[in-house]
Structure 1
Amino acid sequence: MLCFEGIALNLNIFMGRTAPPNFRVVEPKDGILQTITVSPDTAKVRPYVSGAILRNIKFTQDRYESFIALQDKLHQNLARQRTLVSIGTHDLDTIKGPFTYEALPPRDFKFVPLNQTQELTGETLMTFYENDRHLGRYLHIIKDAPVYPLILDSNRVICSLPPIINGDHSKITVNTTNVFIEITATDITKLDIVTDIMVTMFSQYCAEPFTVEPVKIISDHNNQTRVTPHLRPRVTHAEVDYLNSCTGLNESRENLCKLLSKMAYVARPSDKDSNLLEVAVPPTRADVLHQADIMEDVAVCYGFNRLPRSSPNRGATVAAPLPINKLSDIVRIEAAMAGWSEVMPLTLCSHDENFAWLNRKDDGNTVVKLANPKTLEYQVVRTSLLPGLIKTIRENKSHSLPIKIFEAADVVFKDEKSERRARNERHFAAAWCGKSSGFEIVHGLLDRLLLMLRTNFIADGGKTAAVKPDGYWIEELNEDTFFHGHAAAVYLRLGGKEQRIGEFGILHPSVLEKFDLRFPVSTLEINLEVFL
């Protein structure tokens, strides 16, 4: 369904205008297959290759553009920006087999790239295309490899440098009648899927529709050969009871087979079990993995709007919010009723925003770092809600003062004891920005929230009491994030267990400078998990 040909074919099958096509692999009349011999050095960069030939194909301008567009779409999604799979298509009449798939040092070869006139070596090609808007994004895939993969014909003509670009010598045009398709990959499963999609979609334009000429792949390094593509349907089974129960239908085996034929399946009742259907999945349906996928197609064919409507009869269930979400909602409502505005910044931030800009140090055991951040702005998963609140104030400088914002959301910490080596923790944070410091404002918000959570304030932390009561108290805090002498840590005692649950205070001037703020800002952040 990635090209007009596939959409039109499947719609015609669905509407009953045509039968599901029988894709066939047809050997050439002389019985001699074209071959691609694989060099052992290709294992260093892209180890897998497949091939196919579309004989006596008839292109029009629209068909040609659709053929190119399908390659681009496959490169973007299934091939993951060409990192897993790359496709090369060539005019077979301009090159001569047998072909070889080799890997050579970048300075040891040169060829004329597609739509160019000058010869380039592998090294100069990387420089030539590094600023190219289309191809520049793919250079990193092989740029630092010791060898570059190449497809060559029997005359040592370079057909392509996968996954970057084809050679100009074998480029296809509207007048091309025989198309040689070579596909290289780092993942053999994706290789087979992409090969099947490419050849099945455009084999309908061959002189003998839905036929493909295979190519033999010969591996020098392990003495193995295989022929691609095979285009054989995958035979699987689906239970009649399962298909009916999930959709609410009560169809016979024969009717279910008729419904499945609308989705290009070839299905028939099993001879061994009256509750089974034998379903032949066409090579175009790599998305079908389980009988649940077949059941979904039955529902599509029958019509979702026509499925029987019923109420659950397997036992009543009552939905309820998670305790932490219910607690968060209570706190959010109270903060909003006190005149504060809720914001929802991004969960990812830069490493400096999370640590250096708050005058905090990274001990290496706290923050979850992204292995491949796309920008410097998204390097780590936040361990505090403060960076998001402060950046929100920064981006709303034109807003009238004071700015009173809050957020109740998750932060993430490394945790080697947990299954995923990390854990979420629900926090509440608020920030006040105005012409005055606002220290007493955030202090008042803290008192209001804990009062609504029925947590008593203990003036001296209960140190003088014979039996230390449950509740919260504050103690002076000296941390570089805050202005010295103008910050406090919040402590909580529940069931005799004491712990620090947060802090509030006036941000240090150096923090304000790094976030480009001109007015004083006071912040509050507490851990909500401890109240459960």
Structure 2
Amino acid sequence: MSDPGSSCYKYLLDYTNILRIIFQDRYKSFIDLQDKLHQNICRRRTLVAIGTHDLDSIQGPFIYDAKPPTDIKFKALNQTEEYTAVELMQLYSGDSHLKSYLPIIQDKPVYPVIYDKNSVVLSMPPIINGEHSKITLETRNVFIECTATDLTKAKIVLDTIVTMFSQYCDEPFIVEQAEVIKPDGTSVIYPELAYRHEIVNVDDINKKVGINIDGDRMARLLTKMCLESEVIDGGKNLHVAIAYGYNNLNWTIPNTNTISNQFPLNKLTDLMRQEIAASGFTEVLTFALCSRDDIADKLRQDIKTRNAVQIANPKTLEFQVARTTLLPGILKTIYHNKNMPLPLKLFEISDVVFKDSKKDVGSRNERHLCAVNYSKSSGFEIIHGLLDRIMQLLEIPPSQDNSGYKIKAAEDATYFPGRCADIMVHGKSIGKLGVLHPEVITTFDLNLPCAALELNLEALK
């Protein structure tokens, strides 16, 4: 006969493990929320920095101060010994996660630091928290602090993080406010969790939603959706349709003669994809971002001539710029599929991006078509044949004058000397085709010849 006590002990262990898994998921979710806020509204901690601490390990009141880096010394998060702020800067200069935040305060004469009542360092924002107050799966009370250079952003971030985390509290959706005393002696209570009040016209809301109810009923419906309303000259409008019931809205035809139609360039692109696939090529879809090397050094080009849009804060070396050509993406795809039967005939029709000071956003998109043949022989005739098929579909006849299309010998460092040509349409170059230079092929870790074609579809208007 089994021991009943041992069974109870087993069930207790199982229950404990289940609770640990739940707490661990909540902990990861909380940290993930903090990271996402740091990357987005906090603008990589330049506007707001968030610190989370085990409240049971520290004592208030808390002091937000600024001191010379040599005067700040504490044990940073996940460290085993104390360092000064200067030493921490050197320590984290090689850290892939934290080194991008160091310039925010690195050259300043004083660094921000937060102490508790017993001079225990909570954090040195926006770089690192202290080890002493770090939260764990056993933490029962969490203290959240936000430091910022933008008060509006700080309020938004604080309201967001406390309200989202409040669902995990012992008493869900309950947060405890804290008093903040300013340098001038005045005080304010955070988080404010303030309501935003809007005054809108009742008739205007009825017209936009497509209903006909009076202000009193509209206010009742809004209050029902936890948006307290009162009738003055209008009410809140954000959730009127939801409170009223979507199924209660009548379908109506807009009083306009506008007829929708597919964007011509997209229609051309869709038709072109089908025809090129019918010619024996396989379509690929690659990333719109790439490294500087992909569009410059690997293609034997100068990055200064590529007119590329730079990413201000790239997450990895693979996403530094917006692509200016589709060729690197296809060559990378071939590299990852070298074990497939030859020949590999791939194509892509997508946008590339160039800097353009004439545009209000400083850049412009171009719809490009790129195709590559990878085999034991270059297959230039295959790529040339694909070009002829494309022009046939576009009803552009071959011609030696400017009335149609032709290819014209050209020199391009990406292509093998004497094996490159400009694609001329009505006397204007819209792209290139040819055999890729051996150095280009080897930089993408390929070992067989390639013939490639790339042209600007938008230039065919």
Q: TM-score range by the shorter chain?
A: 0.7 to 0.9
Check conservation: 1:92, 1:170, Cα contact below 8 A. Answer: no
Match of 2:382 among 425, 441, 451: 441
* Structure 1 unaligned spans of 5+: 1-59, 280-293, 463-468
Of 111-120 and 515-524, the range deviating more from structure 2: 111-120
Alignment map for 1:61-140 (pairs within 5 Å): 72=31, 74-80=33-39, 83=45, 84-89=48-53, 91=55, 95-97=59-61, 99-112=62-75, 119-125=82-88, 137-138=97-98, 140=100
Contact 2:283 2:348 in 1 (8 A): yes
User: What's the counterpart of residue 367 of structure 1?
Assistant: 308
Mapped contact 2:113–2:125 kept (Cα < 8 A): yes
The separation in 1 between residues aligned to 2:156 and 2:378, in whole angstroms, is: 62
CA contact (8 A) 2:282 2:347 kept: yes
**Partner residue, 1:411:** 352
Q: For residues 199 and 357 of structure 1, do their structure 2 counterparts lie closer, same or farther at Cα, with a shift above 3 Å needed? A: closer
1:165 matched to 2:152? The reply is no
Q: Which of the residues 214, 221, 224 maps onto 1:252?
A: 214
Contact 1:348 1:381 in 2 (8 A): yes
Question: Is the Cα contact below 8 Å between 2:24 and 2:137 reproduced in 1?
Answer: no
Q: Secondary structure at the match of 1:399?
A: coil
- Cα distance between partner residues in 2 of 1:402 and 1:409: 23
Aligned-partner Cα distance in 2 for 1:157–1:470: 80
Amino acid at match of 2:391: L
SS of aligned partner of 2:441: helix
From the two aligned structures, give the one with the greater strand fraction.
Answer: 1
State the Cα distance separating 1:180 from its structure 2 match.
6.2
**Do the aligned residues in 2 keep the contact of 1:411 with 1:427 (CA within 8 Å)?**
yes
1: CA distance between counterparts of 2:212 and 2:306?
Answer: 57
Q: 1:169 to 1:241 in 2, by over 3 A?
A: same
- How big is the shift at 1:354? 1.0
Structure 2 match to 1:312: 253
* Correspondence 1:198-217 to 2 at 5 A: 214-217=178-181
Tell me whether 1:353 sits opposite 2:294 in the alignment: yes
Give a deviation string over 1:258-315, Cα, whole Å, max 9, x none: 3222433221111xx2xx12x5xxxxxxxxxxxxxx42x23333444x3424032322
Answer with 369-378 or 329-338: which moved more. 329-338
Select 2:429's aligned residue among 455, 477, 500.
500
After alignment, is 315-324 or 388-397 more displaced? 315-324
The alignment covers a number of residue pairs equal to: 431
| 2:34–2:50 contact (8 Å) kept in structure 1 | yes
Select which of 469, 484, 487 maps to 2:420: 487
Aligned counterparts of 1:311 and 1:212: Cα–Cα separation in 2: 49
> Is residue 451 of structure 2 the alignment partner of residue 522 of structure 1?
yes
Q: Structure 1 pair 354/258, CA: closer, same or farther in 2 (3 Å)?
A: same
In structure 2, C-alpha distance between the alignment counterparts of 1:392 and 1:176, rounded to whole Å: 49
Which of 141, 146, 159 is residue 183 of structure 1 equivalent to? 146
Q: SS of the residue aligned with 1:368?
A: coil
d(CA) in 2 for partners of 1:512, 1:162:
47
Separation (CA, whole Å) in 1 of partners of 2:287 and 2:57: 55
| Cα distance in 1, alignment partners of residues 345 and 23 from structure 2 | 59
Q: Structure 1 pair 369/62, CA: closer, same or farther in 2 (3 Å)?
A: closer
Q: Are the structure 2 counterparts of residues 245 and 173 from structure 1 closer, same or farther at C-alpha, using a change threshold of 3 Å?
A: same
1:71 to 1:393, Cα distance in 2 relative to 1, 3 A: closer
Tell whether the 8 Å contact from 2:422 to 2:433 is kept in structure 1 after alignment: yes
Please state whether the residue corresponding to 1:313 is helix, strand or coil.
coil
TM-score, scaled relative to structure 2? 0.80
Q: TM-score scaled by structure 1?
A: 0.70
Higher mean displacement: 154-163 or 112-121: 112-121
* Structure 2 residue runs without a partner (length 5+): 1-18
- 2:205 is aligned with 1:243: yes
Which one has the bigger helix percentage?
2
- Are 1:264 and 2:226 counterparts? yes
Distance across 1 between alignment mates of 2:326 and 2:257: 39
Counterparts of 1:437 and 1:68, CA distance in 2: 55
Query: 1:320-368 deviations in whole A, cap 9, x for unaligned?
Result: 1222222223332321222222111112222222122222223346222
8 Å Cα contact 2:122/2:133 also seen in 1: yes
> What is the aligned-residue RMSD (CA, Å)?
3.7
- Residue 85 of structure 1: how far off its partner (Å): 3.0
Whole-Å Cα distance in 2 between the matches of residues 440 and 489 of structure 1? 15
Structure of greater relative contact order (alpha carbons < 8 Å, 6+ residues apart): 1
Q: Write the deviation string for residues 22-44 of structure 1: whole angstroms up to 9, x where unpaired.
A: xxxxxxxxxxxxxxxxxxxxxxx
1:86 aligned counterpart, secondary structure? strand
Q: 1:326 to 1:74 in 2, by over 3 A?
A: closer
Identity %: 37
Tell me the CA shift for residue 420 of structure 1. 1.8
1:340·1:405 contact (CA, 8 Å) conserved in 2? yes
